[in-house]
Structure 1
């Protein structure tokens, strides 16, 4: 149970550059049964929430909800395959519009406390699968127009920052410059059918790959709970708790070195779970 205004373990307060932030550490059971620790940070001044955890395979997942600019950012730091000549890790970023009421406000998040920090959390609500196609590249040097958080979050994924065409249309209608975006080629004549990376022996041969990332647990809305008195019978008023949620998205995108300088010729099929 999470409640407001109840001081307990698992919550830290800090001041960063004059602003107040709160940090909540939650033990969460992943889909494969493993237990991980999610770190949730609420910044009431910047009006944002950050969630971070490490998957069993070592992939570091970071999520930011920017309520000021209505943008959500996902970053995955994936361990590289050194035998294929890859760097120590590969960074990928996905950016999309943040819809109303997807998350509880940062002010509410900052007030959440854990009654039992040793409890293992599972989502109370699981949403259906959403199919997303992210076929637009985002220019990091201009991405500040979308959110001030993108530069710090996605600087290591400079050549692998993606969004959806429907989100691009939304942002263009609100005055964001077109130079922020570059639509990736979709023609089958331009993007050939590629073998899976596991099936290719040549480390430099273009191939298709897939990966998965999941935000298994996050607070999505507040609920009111009745308190009982010491006898367990009477009601002493109301307290505020939270409802947690798991939502799943399938994300596909394509990046091509021939048309996007600096990019590896790679057809990337990614699956993202939110």
Structure 2
């Protein structure tokens, strides 16, 4: 169970936090069951002043996943650090960043997240609601140097993935209408314009360009607030926030790579 209530004996701590004399951060660690049945620890941080949330966890194969929701810019960032196959000439790890628009019903507000407390930290959590899988064509490359226009967090989150930051044309059109510099985007080759471009999993040459796929599952995300009802002394009913609802959401990202060597995991799917 999770509660948004703040115990009376710690109310005095909120006074300096509202003025941010101390860091406006909260840290919540949650045990979560992954798709393969294994258990991992999610670390969720919320900054109510800068209005963003980060969710991080490690997959069974050693991949490190970071999800960041930037409410000020309506942007979400996924970063994955994938262990490399040294025997096949890869570096120690490979970094990818996927950037898309953030919608209001995907995760609870940073202010609510910062107040979230866990009653049983040893319980292994599973989402109450399954929201399926989105298949997203990440057909645009993002210039790392200019990425701060989309979100100031890109320079920190995507620093290891400077040459592998992707988004989609659907979101680019929206951002251009908001005045974002078009020079930070580059449309990537696609099978529709280059018939010889095939999925990496059917490509038999490690140095040939192809369309890579990466599956990413977020198994436990606080996606909405729960409201309870209360009757006062006069009999009047009112509602108040009394907890959260958790969701599971998965994504299949498809994106262009200059060589299959940058997408070796796709052989296993």
Q: The TM-score by the shorter chain falls in which range? A: 0.7 to 0.9
Q: Which residue in the other structure is 2:223 paired with?
A: 220
Tell me if structure 2 keeps the 8 A contact 1:209–1:270: no
- Output the CA distance in 2 between the equivalents of 1:81 and 1:240: 47
CA distance in 1, matches of 2:208, 2:59: 28
1:20 and 2:24 correspond = yes
Partner SS, residue 151 of structure 1:
helix
Q: d(CA) in 1 for partners of 2:260 and 2:21?
A: 42
Q: Which residue of 2 aligns with 1:31?
A: 35
String of CA shifts for 1:113-160, please: whole Å, max 9, x gaps. Answer: 001111110000001332211100000000000000001100110110
Cα distance in 2 for residues equivalent to 1:68 and 1:204? 40
| Residue 100 to residue 78, structure 1, CA distance change in 2 (3 Å) | same
Matches within 5 A, 1:112-261: 112-187=116-191, 190=194, 192-194=196-198, 196=200, 200=204, 204=207, 206=209, 209-225=212-228, 240-256=242-258
Judging by fraction of residues, say which structure has more helix: 2
Q: Structure 2 regions of 5+ residues with no counterpart?
A: 8-13, 231-238
Partners of 1:209 and 1:174 lie apart in 2 by: 30
Contact 1:206 1:267 in 2 (8 A): no
Work out whether 1:2 is the aligned partner of 2:2: yes
3-state SS in 2 of match to 1:24? strand
Q: Give the aligned partner of residue 234 of structure 1.
A: none
Residue 78 (structure 1) shift: 0.1
Once residues 125 and 216 of structure 1 are traced to their aligned partners in structure 2, the CA distance between those partners, rounded to angstroms, is 10
State the 1:85 CA deviation: 1.0
Contact 1:84 1:203 in 2 (8 A): no
Q: CA deviation at 1:81?
A: 0.5
1:260 corresponding residue in structure 2: none
CA displacement, residues 250-269 of structure 1 (integer Å, 9 cap, x when unaligned): 2211133xxxxxxx576859
Unaligned runs of 5+ in 1: 8-12, 228-236, 257-263
Cα distance in 1, alignment partners of residues 137 and 263 from structure 2 = 11
Q: Secondary structure at the match of 2:152?
A: coil
User: Contact 2:213–2:255 (CA<8 Å) still a contact in 1?
Assistant: no
Q: What is the TM-score with the length of structure 2 in the denominator?
A: 0.82
Q: In structure 2, do the counterparts of structure 1 residues 181 and 267 end up closer, same or farther at CA, with 3 Å as the change threshold?
A: same
1:108 aligns with 2:112: yes
| CA 1:223–1:270: 2 relative to 1, 3 Å | farther
* Conserved? CA contact 1:75–1:92, under 8 Å: yes
